[in-house]
Amino acid sequence: MSEPAADGDYRLISSERVHDGRVISLDLDTVAMPGGGDSVREVVRHPGAVAVVALEQDGSVVLLRQYRHPVGGYLWELPAGLRDADGEPPLETAKRELAEEVQLAAERWSLLATYFSSPGFCDEQVLVYLAEGLSPADRPEGFTVEHEELDMTVDRVPLAEAVRRVMAGGIRNPAAVIGLLAADRYRAGGVELRPADAT
């Protein structure tokens, strides 16, 4: 959730769709500024995403090594995916992605964090879940492993080691950085997590 602007501040004057892609769209929005005048903003529209800190009983977390073309290499990430299934609640998307990518299910779910990836130009919001009480699961019927996922590797790493990798710069995917640090803080005690159906 974002704090809305005061009435009359940053009013949308017009919006022009200049690109419709498979995942993202690009709009040129003309926005009235509170001090007068207006400004054009390039806005990437994105369906949003989920990510999952899958925490094993022994305190290890599930990490994926996946090639990401825009950065030209591999990143260590959490199980994650787009909210691109019409009408699917984000928690159900998280459950589906956990089964698709690492063939796991969880007994207990909580919402660790919610963030906007790059709010200066994109409306993508990511919900990061904590999944506990893990057990093996089949991939959903009809799911096919393809593209970069064919080359993806899965590893289990102690949470403390994953946090060390974050601080050393070895983990740079934002959902992984936020999720791992939040999970570590939660395990240290003194904070409560939101219910899994929160936003």
Q: 105-125, pLDDT tens digit by residue?
A: 999 999 999 999 999 999 999
The model carries a pTM of 0.93
Q: Indicate whether 1 pLDDT > 70.
A: no
Are 41 and 81 in a shared domain? no
Given this model, what pLDDT does residue 139 score?
87
Q: Indicate whether 149 pLDDT > 80.
A: no
Are 84 and 22 in a shared domain? no
Residue 106 belongs to domain with CATH number: 3.90.79.10
How high does pLDDT run on average in the chain?
Answer: 93
Local structure of residue 194 (DSSP, 8 states) = E
Domain that holds residue 29: 11-45
Q: Which residues of 108-134 are buried (b: 16+ CB within 10 A; e: fewer)?
A: ebbbbbbeebeeeebbbbbbbbbbeeb
**Terminal CA-CA length for the chain:** 8
1 part of a folded domain: no
Q: Which amino acid is at 31?
A: V
* C-alpha dist (Å) from residue 177 to 63, 74, 75, 147, 188: 11, 15, 11, 24, 17
Q: Which of 101, 149, 161, 192 is catalytic?
A: 149
Catalytic status, residue 92: no
